[in-house]
Structures are given as structure tokens and as C-alpha cells.
Amino acid sequence: MVSVTVCVRFRPLSLSEKRLHGDSICIQALNTQSFTFKDEKEEDITFCFDRVFYQDSEQVEVYDFLAMPIIEGAVNAINGTIIAYGQTGAGKTYSMEGLGVLDGDRNKKGLLPRIVDGIFEFLQSLVEMTKWTVKLSMVEIYMDKIRDLFDLSKDNIQIKENKCQGIFLLGATEIPITNSTEALRCLCHGIANRAVEMNLASSRSHCVYIFSVQQESRTDGRSKTGKIVLVDLAGSEKADRTGAGGIVLEEAKSINKSLSALGNVINALTAGKVNHIPYRDSKLTRILQDALGGNSRTALLCCCSPSPSNVSESLSTLRAKLLKSLPRANMSDAKDNMEQIIDCESLDYKSERLLEKLRQNLNEEDVDMLDELLTVAGIFFDPQSTEEIESAIEDVTIRTISALHQAVEDLKDRNDMLMMENHTLKADLSAARLALNNANTVPNASLFGKARELLITYLPSFNFPPRR
């Protein structure tokens, strides 16, 4: 298993932070991989990461360390994902886009425009016998709904999965791009459609950029496909700090819910063997399923403020857990392509046809729930690799053992209950015998009747002689 690359980037202090605390900061650099952090109790905590980018770091440094390996992997048919995470105003969007994807300042260019240039530089260096195609999709997750930023009429895109494509967005616009200029213009159009907060400096939606790179040999027809997914997560901000209300408060709740789901998935993946990874708890984690422990190389860029006024938020960001991801190449022979397409289309067609019939009689939420249950139950399960089959078998084994343990516990509880009932019956029987003995020595009609009643109740086979 390959560890996800986890980096931290501290932005320079803002003017408002300088007014509050001057040039004071809550971190002390040790080296390029570790630093000490002073928490709210003025205690020093040491953190170590794959790389730490301090306040004076340049955009190109982040690109060279974080993105270059992802691009090389994608060209070699290994999916790559970069996730920018952190509180509102911590520098995520600047790290991703720079001052703007079309901005001419080369030193300020963010990951997004640099990756676009990098993809085409790699592809243009390939031999002439290779034919390549690049497609771009761009969506945002707003209030837990996925909408297409290239076609705003598609405001509720569904997430699907099959063995050929893995996780994909059904019906999302894919724009073929042939050069960097064309790609950046498309990205600029999509960014303009993105929902933006009141302060115009931070997004209130998660933004997902998907580059699909397909290569095909002109000689033997072999093809390979790699994806690069960039995710600019919405900032998490406590409602009591922002004073948000109304629709803004609802947006904040939705953002924090999806980020919480992301944290739960990461915690489940890092906890070792668990019965269930809650990828389906949010649209965000479902889209990132391939990245979080799936078929992808993943890099996490944690963006933080070094100011003492943001200690709690920065500390929460820094405690993002490490996770594992096992990349594999997405390659196929020409003779296998048609079979795979037919298999995928057949599986998708059958499941979609069944669900469409159900939609005619049920509401959308019920059908989505049924789709999820069928997939979890394995009815729509279609393993993509030996690892998935082994994982599925292990999961079933763990669930079976868990069910057996529960059955044993239930039997123990039932046994304890029966023992208590048996003890009570023995006590009542002893009382009945005592009453019978007293009746034989003391002529007490009521006592004799009571003893006879108890014996008839607990000893139905006892032939008690009638009273004379």
C-alpha cells in the first residue's frame, strides 16, 4: 500500500490578523517536513508531514512536489487526485487557481493552470505513434447536489459506478480539449458559474475538476486511460464565528456535514480493518471513493493560517489523518475494449432499467435508497480487481463473524433469562410443598386450597385427590 502524500501550506498573515496580533504566529519551523505548533493552551505540539510549505513558499514549489508525480502517473494510466482542504480563507483557492486561471503572472499561477500546461507538455513529448485525447469536466457540490458548471441546466447529476470507469458522473459534460489555452478558457467559464460567498473571496461549494487522458497506440491498438481530479473543498467555518443566518447558515451546515463525512471516511480507512467504509454518506465522499483508498494516487494539501486567532481551526486541519491508496494502471488491449464496453453497458442498462421502472411508482429518494441498498447488498456489485474480490470476501467474513458473535450473545441473554425463570419456579414449588405439608397437619381449608391451587398450576400431571 502507498501512503497518500500529505502536505501543509501556511499562507502569509492577513492585514486583519496583523492588526490583532502583530507579526505573532503560532508555528515554528523545524525543517521542510516538521514544525511545532502552539495550541490554545500555549502547549507546543510537533507535526511531521511529507512536506511543509511556509509563508514564503512559491506556487511552483507546491506544483513541483505535489502535482508533477500526479501528472506523470496519469500519463501512465494511474489516476491521481489532489485535494485542497482547510478553513475558509486559508488559501485553498489561491493554491488551486492563483490570482486567476488566465492571470499572466507566471509566479502566481496556481496548481490548476500549471497542471493544464504539464499535461500537454507530457503528451506532446510522446512518440508520433501514440494518439491521445484529453477531456475536461467541471462540477460543484452545492447543498449536497451535484451540478454541471459547463451546463447549469444539469443541476442534479447522479453518481454511478461500473468496472470499466469506476466512479463516474452520469451525464456530466465532457469537453474535448487540444491545448492549454482552450482548457484555461473552459475552466474560466466554469469558475464564473460557481456559487461564491458574500465576501467574494471564498467558495461556498466544493469544486471538482476532472481531466481524462486517453492514449491509444497506432500500431497495436492498445489503450490506456488516466484521470486527474482536483478538488477545491469549501472552507469549514463555525457558525458562531461568522454570524451566518438563513440560507448562508444552511449552506454552512451542508458544507460541514460533507466535510464531517469526509473525516469519517478517512478515520474508517485509517482505523484498520472495519466492516464498512461510509463512502455513501455524502456526494463528496462518493465522488472521491476512488481517491480515498481506491484506484488512485492521492495528495492532500492542508491549507492553514499561522495566526494565533485561528489556532483551533488550524489545529483541526492539521489533524487530518493519513490514509492509504493502492494505484493500478488502467490499460486494455484493443480486442478487449469492445467486450468491456458491452459488459459495462449491459450492467448499467439492466440496473438503470430496473430503477427507472421503480421511479414510476416510487419517489426519487426511495429509489436512490434502494439503489444504495442493492449495491451494498452486492446485487449490483461488479468487482474490478482481485483486490476488490478479496476485500468483498473479507467484508462478508467479518460480517458473518460479527453476526455469529451477536447470536451467541443473544443465546447467553436467553439462557440467563431461563435460569432466572427456573429459579423462580423452584421457589414457588418449594412454597407449594410447604403449604401441602402444613395442610396435612393443620385443618385449615384455605391453606389447603392454596397449596392445591399451586400444585395444580405447576404440576399439571399430579393427580391430586379430591377434597372429602
Write out the binding residues. 86-93
d(CA 88, CA 198) in angstroms, rounded, equals 12
Q: Helix/strand/coil (H, E, C) string of 55-117?
A: CCCCHHHHHHHHHHHHHHHHHCCCCEEEEEEEECCCCHHHHHHCCCCCCCCHHHCCHHHHHHH
The DSSP secondary-structure symbol of 364 reads H
Amino acid at 277: I
Distance of CA 266 to the CA centre of its chain: 7
Separation of alpha carbons 12 and 6, rounded Å:
20
Helix (H), strand (E), coil (C) string for 279-331: HHHCHHHHHCCCCCCCCCEEEEEEEECCCHHHHHHHHHHHCCCCCEECCCCCE
| CA-to-CA separations, 4 to 83, 269, 324, in angstroms, rounded | 11, 12, 6
The candidate with the shortest Cα–Cα distance to 330, out of 78, 104, 42, is 78
Residue 458 Cα to chain centre, angstroms: 60
For β-strands 51-53 and 44-48, DSSP reports them as unpaired
How far, rounded to the nearest angstrom, does the alpha carbon of residue 280 sit from its chain's CA centroid?
A: 7
3-state secondary structure of 199: coil
DSSP secondary structure of 219-255? TT--EEEEEEEEEEPPPB--HHHHT--HHHHHHHHHH
**101/348 Cα distance (integer angstroms):** 37
3-state secondary structure of 462: coil
Residue 137 has φ and ψ, to the nearest 5°, of: -125, 150
Q: Extract the annotated binding site for ATP.
A: 86-93
* Helix H or strand E segment including 433: helix 386-441
Query: CB–CB of 49/303 below 8 Å?
Result: no
Asked if 80 and 73 count as a contact pair (C-beta separation under 8 A), the reply is yes
Q: What is the DSSP letter of 197?
A: -
